[in-house]
Amino acid sequence: MDTNRLSKKLEQALNDQMTKEAHAAQIYLSYAAWADSQGYKGIANFLFRHAHEERNHMMKFLEYIMERGGRVRVTAIPAPPSDPSGVNNCFEKVFQHEVDNTNAIYNITNIAHEERDWATFNFMQWFVKEQLEEETLAMDLMDKIKIAGGEHAKSDALYALDKDLLTTPDDAPTAEKATEDKPL
Ligand code: FEO
Residue 129 inside a domain? The answer is yes
Residue 179 inside a domain? The answer is no
Residue 27 CA: distances (Å) to CA of 23, 143, 175:
6, 21, 28
High-pLDDT (> 90) share of the chain, %: 92
Domain that holds residue 97: 8-74+81-174
CA of 173 to the centre of ligand 1 (A): 16
pLDDT of residue 173: 85
Q: Give 4-31 pLDDT, tens digit per residue.
A: 999 999 999 999 999 999 999 999 999 9
Q: Which atom of ligand 1 is nearest to the CA of 101?
A: 3
Question: What angle separates helix 8-37 from helix 41-67, to the nearest 10 degrees?
Answer: 170
Q: Give 94-105 pLDDT, tens digit per residue.
A: 999 999 999 999
Q: Give 166-181 pLDDT, tens digit per residue.
A: 999 988 888 988 999 8
Ligand 1 site: residues with CB under 6 angstroms? 21, 24, 54, 57, 98, 101, 134
Residue 3 inside a domain? The answer is no
Residue pair 50/170 in contact (Cβ under 8 Å)? The answer is yes
Residue 159 CA: distances (Å) to CA of 97, 112, 138, 162:
25, 46, 19, 5
Query: Which residue in 24, 11, 40 sits closest to 158, CA to CA?
Result: 40
pLDDT of residue 156: 97
Domain count, the chain: 1
The number of CA neighbours under 13 Å toward the Cβ of 177 is 8
pLDDT of residue 182: 87
Residue 184 inside a domain? The answer is no
pLDDT of residue 27: 98
> What's the pLDDT band for 141 if we cut at 50, 70, 90?
very high
Residue 110 inside a domain? The answer is yes
What CATH number is given to the structural domain containing 51? 1.20.1260.10
CA of 121 to the centre of ligand 1 (A): 18
DSSP letter assigned to residue 178 = -
Q: What is the mean pLDDT of the chain?
A: 97
Q: Which atom of ligand 1 is nearest to the CA of 131?
A: 3
Q: Give 128-137 pLDDT, tens digit per residue.
A: 999 999 999 9
Residue pair 31/45 in contact (Cβ under 8 Å)? The answer is no
Residue nearest ligand 1's atom 1 by CA: 54
Residue 183 inside a domain? The answer is no
Residue pair 21/108 in contact (Cβ under 8 Å)? The answer is no
Q: Which residues contact 77 (CB under 8 A, 6 or more apart)?
A: 19, 22, 23, 26
